[in-house]
Amino acid sequence: MKAFHIQTFAITLILLCFCTSTSSAKTFDLGSWNILNIKYNFNEKWSVFGEAQLRSLKFYNHFHYYEYKVGANYKVHKNVTLTLGVGSYQTYKEGGNFVTPKNNEEWRLWPQAILHQSIGKLKIEQRYRAEFRFTSNGYRNRFRYRLGLSYPFGKERNAYKPFQVSASNEIFFSNKEPYFERNRLLLAFNYKPSKTTTLQVGYLHQFDYKINDETGRDFFQMGCFIDLFRKKSPDVPVNIDINDN
């Protein structure tokens, strides 16, 4: 009974966030944030991935940003995963779809570490990432820390639960003034129709401070995450904040 109340509260919280963002659309522009991520698992330790993102400042209009990236993951411990990624990140001016000249053209190399732990059914994620950024405005360093919480629920299917609610907050900072660059908050609901596919919808709020590579706004997020396996797939839990924003 207690678990039922927790699930009901979590779902209600997500729905309230969506309703609030929708009802407030008259006073601010709700953009779109779209993700496609495909991961190939060689074994329980090694995997590679590719991801593409497309973002707009209005609801599926005024597209101003896209990125694509690839990388490799190595699980050094059941609760620790190391990643090395590289990608292209392109930001256009506001006011329409892919308005030129661009605000920023960028290639980025980024190592990261993700730490997982659980308290009962509640899952906790900490992500540490360093970014080496080769931009049209010169070379930059950036560092990111994300803390996330997730709660899976629903009738178990083949060692995984089909639903999950999650929340995360991430800060971005650099080694040069003004040091703090960005804060990103995400509330999301994940549905796992099969062991290899996860669908995500969410509300993302991003605040930027004196940077021009991506405009901070409110976004409706949609994501599709696909896990492929070289051999028979092991038990795959629903990950929190699966995207690599």
Q: Is residue 173 part of a domain?
A: yes
- Residue 116's H or E segment, with its range, is strand 99-119
In whole angstroms, give the CA distance from residue 200 to residue 189: 6
Yes or no: say if 165 and 188 are a contact pair by the CB < 8 Å rule: yes
- Model confidence pLDDT, tens digit, residues 155-209: 888 777 899 999 999 999 999 888 899 999 999 999 999 989 999 999 999 998 8
- Residue 21's H or E segment, with its range, is helix 2-23
Would the pTM of this model clear 0.95, i.e. be above it? Answer: no
149 bridge partner residues = 124, 167
Task: Specify the number of domains making up the chain.
Answer: 1
Q: Is residue 238 part of a domain?
A: no
Indicate left, alpha or beta for 179 from its phi (over 0: left) and psi (-120 to 50: alpha): left
Q: Is residue 241 part of a domain?
A: no
Q: What is the pLDDT of residue 133?
A: 97
Please provide the distance, in angstroms rounded to a whole number, between the alpha carbons at the two ends of the chain.
Answer: 36
Q: What is the CATH number for 174? A: 2.40.160.40
Is the pLDDT reported for residue 4 higher than 50?
no
- Model confidence pLDDT, tens digit, residues 133-168: 999 989 999 999 999 999 999 888 877 789 999 999
Which are the contacts of 91, defined by CB distance < 8 A and separation ≥ 6? 64, 65, 102, 103, 104, 105, 106, 212, 213, 214, 215
Yes or no: say if 39 and 48 are a contact pair by the CB < 8 Å rule: yes
Q: Which domain holds residue 7?
A: 2-229
Q: What is the pLDDT of residue 177?
A: 83
Q: What is the pLDDT of residue 24?
A: 44
Which are the contacts of 57, defined by CB distance < 8 A and separation ≥ 6? 29, 31, 64, 94, 215, 217
